[in-house]
Amino acid sequence: MKDSIHKYFQVGTIQWMSYPKRDPMESLKAICRDDYFDAIELKGYGEKNAEAKALLDQSHLKVCYGAQPRLLGPKLNPNAIDEAERLKAEATLIEAVDEAEFLGARGIAFLAGKWEQETKDQAYAQLLKTTRSVCDYAAKKGMNVELEVFDFDMDKAALIGPAPYAARFAADMRTTHSNFGLLVDLSHFPTTYETSQFVIRTLRPYITHFHFGNAVVKPGCDGYGDLHPRFGYPNSANDTPELLDYLRVLKQEGFFDAEKPYVLSMEVTLRPGEDEDIVLANTKRVLNRAWALLED
């Protein structure tokens, strides 16, 4: 492409993935100082939220809030069959909306919880209940809620799920809430046995946010599962050709929007012994190369 990628997307990174070892305030400063990034995805800073907000206010970064760690860390399940357990997940997502608003984000993203085949329909109904409640709360603040689509049987084993099931859920949500959308991640397509074209076309009306990265899906290989290794990692599924294909499909499906650009964030993290800055530079290089190869 002759045009800059920054014309059509707000290029971001997920702070806790890019800098898992560094002090959060120091890594926040590093991202704020890096003009490659137009957006940051963060998870909150506890007692240092006010300090973080001051830095974010200076940066002119678009702020996005990921509530996934709030669920994954304490193993909370927004589609739990047990109502008391479901309400715990709902409560932390409501808190996430407040924290996101304070930090300058206009919404939150989260993921579905684990499921069992015999209670899948009940779990689906429970997830609708949670998501509608959180969307109701967010709507009062003019904020949005996004559900990230994960694998259903490999690692996270989340209820949502392969693309057709995610489309069904999003359609049900949109009948009641216009502030709901889906977040899709190139890293997850190999883990759901799907392609960029299939996922994007299936979910086209509901997608509001994009991630990209890599995955190892060969059983028995190092990094197997939803671990987001660097591009070029041994036995991994995605590299420059796959990212180019992803961008090509996004272009074909009308997601290149110079007026209201979508967020496109890199979700890549370290394997043992790797360096944060080198892996982040690796990711930028792959994105730059894929963009350069994309036809006008």
Cα(245)–Cα(31) distance, rounded to whole angstroms?
27
pLDDT by 10s per residue, the chain, length 296: 999 999 999 999 999 999 999 999 999 999 999 999 999 999 999 999 999 999 999 999 999 999 999 999 999 999 999 999 999 999 999 999 999 999 999 999 999 999 999 999 999 999 999 999 999 999 999 999 999 999 999 999 999 989 999 999 999 999 999 999 999 999 999 999 999 999 999 999 999 999 999 999 999 999 999 999 999 999 999 999 999 999 999 999 999 999 999 999 999 999 999 999 999 999 999 999 999 999 99
Give me the pLDDT at residue 57, please.
Answer: 98
The number of angstroms, rounded, from the C-alpha of 169 to the middle of its chain's C-alpha atoms is 17
- The first and second tokens of residue 278, run together, are 């080198």
**Contact, 146 vs 109, CB < 8 A?**
yes
Give me the pLDDT at residue 31, please.
Answer: 98
Give me the pLDDT at residue 144, please.
Answer: 98
Domains in the chain: how many in total?
1
User: Omega before 161 cis (within 30°)?
Assistant: yes
Cα(159)–Cα(113) distance, rounded to whole angstroms?
6
Q: Note the pLDDT tens digit of each residue in 109-152.
A: 999 999 999 999 999 999 999 999 999 999 999 999 999 999 99
Q: Note the pLDDT tens digit of each residue in 208-239.
A: 999 999 999 999 999 999 999 999 999 999 99
Query: The domain containing residue 192 runs over which residues?
Result: 5-293
DSSP characters over the chain: --S-HHHHEEEEEEHHHH-SSS-HHHHHHHHHH-TT-SEEEE---GGGHHHHHHHHHHHTPEEEEE-HHHHHTTT--TT-SSHHHHHHHHHHHHHHHHHHHHHT-SEEEEE--B--GGGHHHHHHHHHHHHHHHHHHHHTTT-EEEEE---SSSSS-BSS-SHHHHHHHHHHHHTT-TTEEEEEEGGGTGGGT--HHHHHHHHTTTEEEEEE---B-STTSTTBBS--PPTT-TT-S-SHHHHHHHHHHHHHTT---SSSPEEEEE---PPTT--HHHHHHHHHHHHHHHHHHS--
Burial tier of 71 (Cβ tally within 10 Å: 0-12, 13-18, 19+): buried
Give me the pLDDT at residue 151, please.
Answer: 96
Cα(170)–Cα(183) distance, rounded to whole angstroms?
11
Cα(194)–Cα(205) distance, rounded to whole angstroms?
18
Largest Cα–Cα distance in the chain? Answer: 54
Residues 130, 44, 39, 27, Cα dihedral to 10°: -150
Tell me the CATH number at 136.
3.20.20.150
- The first and second tokens of residue 168, run together, are 């069904």
Give me the pLDDT at residue 294, please.
Answer: 98
